[in-house]
Each structure stands twice: as C-alpha cells, then as structure tokens.
Amino acid sequence: METRNSIRPPGPVVIDIENITKEYVMGEEVVRALRGVSLQIRRNEYLAIMGPSGSGKSTLMNMLGCLDTPSAGRYEFNGKNVAEMDDDELAAVRNREIGFVFQTFNLLPRSTSLRNVELPLIYAGINPDRRVERAAQVLADVGLGDRIHHKPNELSGGQRQRVAIARALVNGPSIILADEPTGNLDSKTGEEIMELFENLYQHGNTIILVTHERDIAAHARRTVHLRDGLIEMDHVGFIAELDMPLAR
Amino acid sequence: MKRFLYELGESWKIAAAQMRSNLTRSTLTALGVIIGIIAVTLMGTAVNGISIGFDKSMAVLGDDVLYVTQWPWKPVDDWWNYRDRKKIKTEYAETLNRMIAATPNSNLVVAVPTSNFMRSIKYGGNQVNNVFVLGTTSDFIITSTIDCTAGRFFNELESRDGANVVVIGYDVADALFPSENPIDKSVLINGQLFKVIGVNTRQGTFLGLFSWDSMVAMPLGAFNKYFSAKSESDVRVKVKDKTRLADAKDELIGLMRRVRGLPPEKKDDFSINEQQAFKSTLDPVKNSIAIAGLFITGLSLFVGAIGIMNITFVSVKERTKEIGTRKALGARRRTILLQFLIESTALCLLGGFIGLVLAFLMCFLIGKAAPSFPIHFSLGLVMASVIVSAMTGLVSGFAPAWSASRLDPVAALRYE
C-alpha cells in the first residue's frame, strides 16, 4: 500500500491558465461562469476539480478540454496558446493531447469496442493495421482483451467505462479528463474504475477528475475547489488530510 | 491526404451501418430517389429514342441527296408565291442527267425522278390501305439507303420497259404475306397485277415519319401508265461529295434554271431541298420535347432529394450527442461534414442504382411489348443517372451536414 498512497513527483507544466473568464449570454442575462481562474497543472499530477453545481466546474472542464475557449485570459497547453485557436486546431489538440472520459461513457452504440477505441486513431490519420494493433493493445491494458469484438450493449457499465478509458488513452494524451467517471456506476464498479485511474497515475499519466463526490475526489493527490466561478481552495495532497468539511 | 482517405473510409462504414440500422427509414427515403431516377431515366431513354428515330428517318432522305420540289421543305408565310409554280416533271431527270454528263467535273452524280401516290394494295384476302406507291427508275438505289432482304430492286431493263414489277416494304410484305414468301407473287394495285420481285429490309417506323416499311416502289413507266393523273413528282439528285453540298446546290440551281429556261432577272420557280432543312425544322421540336420531359420528370427526383435532405436533418438531430463525442475525440468540421455528406450520397447512389436497374427492366419490357415505342438505353444515360444521383445526394445532404459540422461541441455533448 506504500505505492498506492504515494505522491509522484510532478513533471513540467502541461496546463497554464491565467485569469481566465467565461461569460455566456442566456436570454437577456449575462452569466459569468468563470470570473478569473488561474491554475497550473503539471505532468503526472492527479487532480480533482470539485464544486457545487453552478460553481463553474463544467465550464472550467470544457476550457481545460479545449472544447471551448475563454472570453478573456491566457491558456497555454504545452506552451501553445489555446485561447486563440480555431475549431480545427482545437480539434487537433483534443485528438492528440486530451483523453476524455464521460459520465455517460459516450460510446458509439453500433460499433464494437475495438472500433470505438480506433476512432481517435482514425482522426489522427494512423494507418489501419497500426490502428487495430494499438486499439487491441490498449483494450488489453484496461483488462478487456477478451471483449474487443463486443458492442457496448453486450458489456456491463464498468466494462463500457473501461472501453471509454481505453479510447481516452489510445493516442497517448498529455492529460486524461474524466467528468464524473463513476456517476453512472454502482459503488463497487466505481471503485474498480478508480483503481484503474490509480494504476494509470502510477504509470505516469496525468489525470484530472471533475466530480462533486468527496469519495471520488479522495483518490486525487490535489483538489481544486470552485465556488461562484472562482477557485475557493487549491489543496496539494490527499483531501482526507483536511479537517475542514467542504461545502457541497 | 492519408488522413482524409481514412476518414473517407470511416465515413463509408458509418453510412453503411447507419443504413442497416435504420432499414425501414432508409428504404422509404431511397424510394423517393428510386422513383425519381426511374422517371428521369425512362424519360432519357424516350428522348434518346426520339432523337434516334428522327435521325433514322432523316437518313432515309440521305445526307448526300438534293431534292428538286415545287414547295420548299420549310414552313413558308407567303404560300401564294409557291402555289402557282409549275409542277416538277419527271422528265426533268433525263434532261438533268444529260447536262450532268456534259459538265466536266460536275458535283452531281445522277438525277432520279420519283412520283408518288397513295393506294391500297391487295393479295388474296389481305389488303393494306394508304400505301405510299413510288414510281422511279432503277437509279433510285443509288440515291437511297434502300436494301432488299429478299429478292432485288428492279433493274434498268424493267425500269425502261415500265414492267409490272414492285419492290415492297417490310410492313407491307408482313401484312400481305403473313405466312408466305412474297417473291414472285402477284399483288393487286388499282386493279392492276404487279409481280413482287423484292422486299425491303425492315427500317422501323417513327411517329409516322418517312419509312420504307410501308412503301411500294415500281418502275416509273408502269406508274405513269396507271397512276399519273394526280401524282406528285419530284427529282432527287445524288451529290458526288457531301462536304461540298453548297457547291452542288448552286450547280443544280443553275441547271434547273436552264431546264426551266428562266431569264436572269426571274426568281427561281422551284425549290432545292436537303436533309438539313428538315433537321433544322425538327430539331427545335425534338429539343423542346427533351427539355419539357426532363424538367417534369426532374421534379420527381427533386421531391426525392427533399426526402433525403429531410432524413439527413433528422439523422443529424438524433445523433447530436454522437457528433459532440466525435468532436471531443478530435473530429474536425470537415470530418463531420464528410460523414453526413457521404451518408446522404450513399443513400442516393443506392436509390439511383436500384432505380437504374428497374428502369432498365422496364425499358426491356416496353421494348418487348411495343417494339415501335421509341426508347433507347445507352451507357451515357447510365453514367448520367449515376452522376445525377450522386449530385442529388451531395446537394440535398449539404445543408444538414453543414449544420452538423458547425455544432458547438459543448452544446452537442450536453444534448439529450
């Protein structure tokens, strides 16, 4: 259990956010989802982003995942200015640098596990032979070596999320961005998935969890707490070390 | 480039999977295109058939033959100027032939007189009414593409003697001699017996335009003996070189003026015609049939295209979340655009292909049931149909595919 609770030394900065804001217009109203957030995330960190609904948590995740660009502020991903990229450049960053894991898995229902995991490789322009080889390899790594020709509806929830994690890993991304990855799973399966994340972290991956569950955030080595579009707390170390009960 | 090919391959796979999983919907949508393509293709075969029929009928006239007639072959406004012209006489042919022989390097080969009259023709209990009876000389075969399946055309001797012999058209032979060999049988025309010495090769009829199939030819001498009273005559002149038709025409006008003895200040009192005159009258008719027909049938294809567009919009809406996921995984706008374009195009191509096969079968059946119906299937038509269906898919799929490619990934991922 020594290694399980160890904090690995972080590497160089992957994500560098400075004073970003995001404003939406909803009907007549201007919603200020982020009001000036600064954050640095280094390679091989295991970070949980927490906060109640409406705190700007999802907006920050979309920003980090390059699904959206900030209204103002600086965002550098591996030293590249993401804030000013166009749609296709952002797509390329998402493809190569970010592995998404969704609460609802978001697998293509009519495609096999292998085809689902192949998808990011297709968008990356990898040739078919290497694609299949690589996808099968990653599926084996997450413990689904015998399920590569199954379709999502032939798999359990935990297995589906493993397929999704394999898909996130297949391009060797700089960060894995998991949005409530256990939200649709029972607690036992959820723990198994968290174990898989732990394993990935121990193998040098950078993991960002977005969650509102303290039990899930408890696995992370650093916790960022958001409230009303601002960072309320940025704690390095296990959240269990804190006495302070966090408001939901 | 490689990446584009992989995306293309991926898109085809998705399109195929999509069609399979929404079989009913795809079939119904494709049905619109199938019907459209059948309509357009059948119209195309009809237009093709009409065009070929026109050309075939034109070929009967010959593209290297000039026709000396009283009336010109084009519509005239001042008909009174032509009404009083002297009739063309069959004897002119002989005079013209002498002149041609006397002219060194003449552009003309031979002049052949023809007279015609409508008559009924009988053999035993069988009778054919309104047969085009043609009186001419043995030189007629030089000016015409006429050809005998059985027997022969009459020879110079029979021609000069005005022998009671006839060469009959295919349809006439068919009607009079359903189960007999017509050669050497005697047919009754206007109370006179004529011996059948030849049957023409089948030519096919088209919209009642000229056809040898319902014609009977006999030596001019015999014709004059029995039918000269009210017959129409003209003279056809074979040209040596059809690329120099204008020169030949000028020469013929000069000769005819000499035949008629016209002083220089008088206008021509005859008309020289050629196949081209007919063509320029009939081509606009042909073209308007084609344009109107293709426009109307094109509307049915348009309805099919709207169906495709509609279903592609539905497909985009249904798969909003999938689009979001794909974008999150790195699909670019172009990738999404391509995916939906290929889906709509694949559907259209499938419909087009099925429609083409059905249209081909229909053509085959129509051809069997009504051989005279002018339809003609061609490779060009097949290619045009395929291209038209692909274009239909591209055009009708573009708006929905574009809207899909522009979706905001955040909103798309959140869509339920």
B183 CB contacts (<8 Å, ≥6 apart)? B150, B151, B196, B197, B198, B199
Tally the residues of chain B: 416
d(CA B231, CA B240): 29
For residue B204, CA distances in Å to A74, B56, B60, B151, B270 come to: 82, 9, 11, 20, 32
Strands (E), chain A: 13-26, 29-42, 46-50, 72-77, 80-81, 98-101, 175-179, 207-210, 222-227, 230-236
What does the pLDDT look like over B162-185, one tens digit per residue?
889 999 988 888 888 888 888 898
* pLDDT of B141 over the 80 cut: yes
Nearest-CB residue to B328 (from A94, A96, A126): A94
Q: What is the mean pLDDT of residues A192-196?
A: 94
Asked whether the beta carbons of residue B329 and residue A96 sit closer than 8 angstroms, the reply is no
Q: What average pLDDT does range A211-236 have in this prediction?
A: 92
- Residue B148's pLDDT band (cuts 50, 70, 90): confident
pLDDT per residue as tens digits for the range B195-207: 999 998 877 665 5
Query: Is residue A98's pLDDT more than 60?
Result: yes
Q: What pLDDT, on the 0 to 100 scale, is given for residue B209?
A: 59
- Residue A150: per-residue pLDDT: 95
For B372-410, write each residue's pLDDT tens digit: 777 778 888 889 888 999 999 999 999 999 999 999 999
Least confident of A40-49, B54-63, B319-328: B54-63
**Each residue of B232-290: pLDDT tens digit?**
888 989 888 888 888 888 898 999 998 888 888 888 888 888 877 777 777 888 889 88
Q: State the burial class of residue B216 (Cβ atoms within 10 Å of its Cβ: 0-12, 13-18, 19+).
A: buried
Grouping H, G, I as helix, E, B as strand and the rest as coil, residue A155 is coil
CA distance B203 to B214: 10
Which residue has 């960053």 as its token pair? Answer: A93
Q: Does B411 reach chain A within 8 Å, measured CB to CB?
A: no
Q: Tell me if A201 sits within 8 A of A9, measured CB to CB.
A: no
Distance CA B143, CA B63 (A): 10
**DSSP conformational letter for B242:** G
Q: What is the mean pLDDT of residues B130-154?
A: 84
Neighbours of A195 (CB within 10 A): 12
Residue B106 one-letter amino acid = S
Q: Do B330 and A120 count as a contact with CB atoms less than 8 A apart?
A: yes
Q: Yes or no: say if A233 and A223 are a contact pair by the CB < 8 Å rule.
A: yes
Alpha carbon distances (Å) from B184 to B158, B199, B274, B368: 15, 11, 36, 33
d(CA B46, CA B52): 10
- The verdict on a CB contact (< 8 Å) between B7 and A122 is yes
Asked if pLDDT for residue B28 goes beyond 80, the answer is yes
Q: CA of A59: which chain B residue's CA is closest?
A: B410
Q: What's the full length of chain A, in residues?
A: 248
Determine the number of helices (DSSP H) and then strands (DSSP E) in chain A. Answer: 7, 10
Residue B225's pLDDT is 85
Sheet strand arrangement including A72-77: A29-42, A13-26, A72-77, A80-81
Judge whether residue A1 has pLDDT over 50: no
ipTM of the complex: 0.92
Q: What is the CA radius of gyration of chain B?
A: 32
Query: What sections of A153-186 are H helices per DSSP?
Result: 157-169
Question: Looking at residues A115-134, what average pLDDT do you find?
Answer: 93
Instruction: List the single range of A156-160, A167-171, B200-204 with lowest mean pLDDT.
Output: B200-204
CB B85: neighbour CB atoms within 10 A? 15
Amino acid B207: pLDDT: 55
B237 close to B110: Cβ distance less than 8 angstroms: yes
The H or E element that residue B135 is part of is strand B126-136
Across A168-183, average pLDDT: 94
Q: Are B218 and B133 contacting, i.e. CB atoms less than 8 angstroms apart?
A: yes
- The per-residue pLDDT for range B48-68, each reduced to its tens digit, is 888 887 777 777 777 788 888
Say what the pLDDT of residue A134 is. Answer: 96
Pairing of strands A222-227, A72-77: unpaired
Q: How confident is the model at residue A2 (pLDDT cuts 50, 70, 90)?
A: very low
CATH fit for domain A3-240, picks 1.10.3720.10, 3.30.70.360, 3.40.50.300, 3.40.190.10: 3.40.50.300
Q: Based on C-alpha coordinates, what's the Rg of chain A? A: 18
Strand partners, B401: none
What pLDDT, on a 0 to 100 scale, did the predictor assign at position B368?
Answer: 86
Inform me whether the pLDDT recorded for A100 exceeds 50: yes
CB contact under 8 A, B2 and A125: yes
- Rounded to an integer, the average pLDDT of A22-38 is 90
CA B215 – CA B217 distance, rounded (Å) = 7
The rounded distance, in Å, linking the Cα atoms of A66 and A153 is 30
Which of A25-34, A214-223, B89-98, B234-243 reaches the highest mean pLDDT? A214-223
**Position A133: which residue type?**
E
B314-373 residues touching A, CB cutoff 8 A: 321-322, 324-335
d(CA B150, CA B261): 44
Structure tokens given for B183: 């050669």
For chains A and B, count residue pairs whose Cβ atoms are closer than 8 Å: 72
Cα(B151)–Cα(B192) distance, integer angstroms? 21
- Which residues in chain B have Cβ-Cβ distances shorter than 8 Å to A100? 328-329
Residue of B nearest to A58 (CA): B410
A248, pLDDT greater than 50: no
Percent over 70 (pLDDT), chain A: 96
In A, which residues are within 8 Å of B324 by CB distance? 106
- Average pLDDT of chain B is 87
